[in-house]
Amino acid sequence: MVPLSATLSPSDADLGTESNDAGDRVPKVVEDARVEMERLIESLADGEYPIEMGSLASEDLEPVAEGRRAGDAIPVYLMISSKRALTKKYGSAGFEQLASDLRDLKQVVQARAGLETVIAYVDDEVSLQRFDLQPVDPAHPWHVKKLVDSIDAQLADRGRQIRYLLIVGGDRIIPFHRLPNPVDDQDSDVPSDNPYASRDANYLIPERAIGRLPDGENQGLALLRTLIRTSLEAHRRTTVAKGLLSTLSAALKGIQGGHPNGRGLGYSASIWRKASRAVFHAIGDDGRLRTCPPLTYEGFQVVEPPHFSYFNLHGIEDGPNWYGQRDALFPADYPLFPLALRPQDPSISEHADAVVFTEACYGANILGKSASDSIALRLLAVGALAVVGSTKISYGSIAPPLLGADLMGKHFWEGLRAHLTVGEALRHAKVSMASEMQRQQGYLDDEDQKALMSFVLYGDPSLPITSIRRSEAMGASADVFCPPIICSRKVEPQKGVTVRPASDELVARVKARIETSLPHMSHATVKARPLSVCSAVCDADCDVREADLRGSLYAPLEQKGLSRVARGWALTLHKDISVKGGRGDAGDALTRAHHQVVRVVVDEHGHILKMALSK
């Protein structure tokens, strides 16, 4: 992984990060955060908010009471956008319409959810006067992040803290951060909102619940206004004590005669059906998971509008559609990657008031897209409450144990069932996934890091979905911990340390094992890189060096045959496979390239420790 400090400009270095240099600190951080999350869950379930309604003008904010704990800070909902960019795209009249819609949303959120709410245009001096802050250029995401942090610091002086952050507009309004891609795949970078959600430079672990209301490329004002109105109407239909939809609570309790985990829709590539069932079980009957093949877009129908929809399908960067994948056990007359779902399909229109989680590669890629060529934007246009997905390539497993996107989906649905808001549920999913992978592996590898960066929420992060109490505690952390990080893109051997390349025999043996279960990956290009771990300080350089592992933070690596001395390898198999989907201007069928990636971690003897497939 590129060091965190490398992602910051020199002026950003003061954002800093606190590191943990002893293994016993991580469990304490997670345990402390679990207590805070339990308190958050209790307050959401009981509808208890220790605040008064009203505006958030600086003169109305009282200083924090002496002795108040940081965890007792009054939650604030911050909505940000760019007045200049919105006016340029939609005109002055269009901006005024959007500004009016946001004011309406603010009033409803304050009245229904009891959240103090601030609307700030990052390039507008008037909207920042209450904080005595200067406007910033919205084209520079790190400047916007530092402005958000400055607002948060002023709120902290008055006993407040930003809990929810909403970005209004797409990449041309408030841009994604372009983070360095930790995985050796085709993506040059990773568009992400994670840095906006963190309070320091460690953007892997979010501390704020964040969401975005995107506007499509070359699309009129209607889409963005629709998204704001969808959120507004959803808040109007609810109180925090009752949850977003009374029917949701009834479904989750099983009193409607359905599955006790709710009315969920699941659609998966056949090859991933075992992993998908483990995720889908949280929201529906895993025996009713639909798979492609044998289903395709022509046979896939929504019989009953879902509350929750889970898609574990393939996506491609330059196309609008999602695809299935034939299991190796299926007859060969099924296409390898059949077309599973298109933006124009009637089943998409059945997702009003639904929450959607997709594992598809590029499932949340909206760069240069509109509702006609993006399933995510199409879902939002028809009234979906939230869409969670990856902006770039995502990775998962064929079968349990879950990893990557699969594990994040499981924790996301569990967070919703524990009556977290949709933004808190995604934050919970990311922190829980990082904690779980650290416990299993002793580190976060490249695919783990990319999942944490690339998954984003399109929707209102403050929106409560259910109020069903979950008996066990949610293990999400609001504090930042700093797990060991595997680097496999750039490894610089330290002087005196010899890094042995993976032998041809080892590579051939591993490749043969992969082809047994994934025969379509025969003749794939293979790259092998030694494993190395970032040094104990998160922003230090990645290198391979001798180290005494006894009693250190990296002891779990030694137990798995890995250490900071490169004793294992990360193998990446690449192959472009043609898929069909959509038609050109002349009505002819289009053929596109699906870039399939398989990532394998092996020990020095060639034993496979982990295998992840691109979605």
State pLDDT tens for residues 197-213: 999 878 998 999 999 99
Lowest model confidence (mean pLDDT) among 160-169, 460-469, 470-479: 470-479
User: How many distinct structural domains can be found in the chain?
Assistant: 3
Nearest to 550 by CA among 7, 22, 9: 22
Give 190's pLDDT tier (boundaries 50, 70, 90).
Answer: very high
Do 439 and 491 reside in the same domain of the chain? no
> Which pair of tokens denotes residue 406?
């699969």
Do 257 and 358 reside in the same domain of the chain? yes
What domain range is 549 assigned to?
486-614
- Is 564 part of any domain? yes
Do 165 and 282 reside in the same domain of the chain? no
Q: Is 529 a residue whose pLDDT tops 60?
A: yes
- Averaged over 464-481, what is the pLDDT? 49
H or E segment to which residue 408 belongs:
helix 404-417
- Is 66 part of any domain? no
User: β-strands 189-192, 177-180: how paired?
Assistant: antiparallel
Do 283 and 418 reside in the same domain of the chain? yes
- Is 237 part of any domain? no
- Is 259 part of any domain? yes
What one-character DSSP code corresponds to residue 114? -
Local structure of 467: helix, strand or coil: coil
Give 238's pLDDT tier (boundaries 50, 70, 90).
Answer: low
Do 395 and 512 reside in the same domain of the chain? no
Lowest model confidence (mean pLDDT) among 76-85, 358-367, 565-574: 565-574
- Is 341 part of any domain? yes
Q: Is 382 a residue whose pLDDT tops 50?
A: yes
- Averaged over 420-425, what is the pLDDT? 97
Q: Is 63 a residue whose pLDDT tops 80?
A: no
Give 488's pLDDT tier (boundaries 50, 70, 90).
Answer: low
Angstrom distance (rounded) from CA 279 to CA 388: 15
Cβ neighbours for 201, distance < 8 A, ≥ 6 positions apart: 4, 5, 7, 8, 12, 15, 16, 17, 539
Angstrom distance (rounded) from CA 332 to CA 180: 39
Q: Which residue has the higher pLDDT, 99 or 530?
A: 99
User: β-strands 314-315, 308-312: how paired?
Assistant: unpaired
- Averaged over 271-275, what is the pLDDT? 96
Q: Is 499 a residue whose pLDDT tops 90?
A: no
Average pLDDT, rounded, for the chain: 79
Do 357 and 493 reside in the same domain of the chain? no
Chain segment 40-61, per-residue pLDDT in tens: 444 444 443 322 223 334 333 4
Percent of the chain with pLDDT over 90: 55
- Is 11 part of any domain? no
Angstrom distance (rounded) from CA 612 to CA 451: 12
Q: Is 258 a residue whose pLDDT tops 60?
A: no
Angstrom distance (rounded) from CA 378 to CA 226: 12
Lowest model confidence (mean pLDDT) among 95-104, 127-136, 144-153, 534-543: 534-543
Do 254 and 370 reside in the same domain of the chain? yes
DSSP lists the bridge partners of residue 42 as none
- Averaged over 98-126, what is the pLDDT? 95
Residue 21 burial (C-beta neighbours within 10 Å; 0-12, 13-18, 19+): exposed
pLDDT score at 593: 79
Q: Which residue has the higher pLDDT, 376 or 262?
A: 376
H or E segment to which residue 81 belongs:
strand 74-81
- Averaged over 438-449, what is the pLDDT? 89
One-character DSSP codes across 238-257: -BTTTBS-HHHHHHHHTTTS
- Averaged over 5-10, what is the pLDDT? 34
pLDDT score at 219: 83
The three state secondary structure string of 431-465 is HHHHHHHHHHHCCECHHHHHHHHHEEEEECCCCEC
Give 28's pLDDT tier (boundaries 50, 70, 90).
Answer: very low
Residue 495 burial (C-beta neighbours within 10 Å; 0-12, 13-18, 19+): exposed
pLDDT score at 58: 37
Do 298 and 358 reside in the same domain of the chain? yes
| CATH number for position 84 | 3.40.50
- Is 31 part of any domain? no
Peptide bond between residue 294 and the one before it cis (omega within 30 degrees of 0): yes
Chain segment 559-613, per-residue pLDDT in tens: 443 444 446 888 899 998 888 765 544 444 567 778 899 999 888 777 888 999 9
pLDDT score at 531: 78
Do 252 and 380 reside in the same domain of the chain? yes
- Averaged over 516-537, what is the pLDDT? 78
pLDDT score at 368: 94
**Residue 166 near residue 460, CB atoms below 8 Å:** yes
Provide the CA 323 distance to its chain's centre, in angstroms.
21
Whole-prediction pTM: 0.81
Lowest model confidence (mean pLDDT) among 508-517, 523-532, 579-588: 579-588
Choosing from 442, 459, 476, the residue where a domain stops is 459
pLDDT score at 237: 85
Do 427 and 528 reside in the same domain of the chain? no
Q: Is 497 a residue whose pLDDT tops 60?
A: no
Q: Is 285 a residue whose pLDDT tops 50?
A: yes
Q: Which residue has the higher pLDDT, 498 or 536?
A: 498
- Averaged over 445-472, what is the pLDDT? 81
**Residue 262 near residue 247, CB atoms below 8 Å:** no
Angstrom distance (rounded) from CA 217 to CA 171: 9
pLDDT score at 436: 93
Local structure of 220: helix, strand or coil: coil
Residue 298 burial (C-beta neighbours within 10 Å; 0-12, 13-18, 19+): exposed
**Residue 589 near residue 583, CB atoms below 8 Å:** yes
Q: Is 495 a residue whose pLDDT tops 80?
A: no
Do 269 and 141 reside in the same domain of the chain? no
pLDDT score at 503: 83
pLDDT score at 602: 87
Do 219 and 254 reside in the same domain of the chain? no
Q: Is 294 a residue whose pLDDT tops 60?
A: yes
- Is 190 part of any domain? no
Lowest model confidence (mean pLDDT) among 111-120, 206-215, 351-360: 111-120
pLDDT score at 139: 97
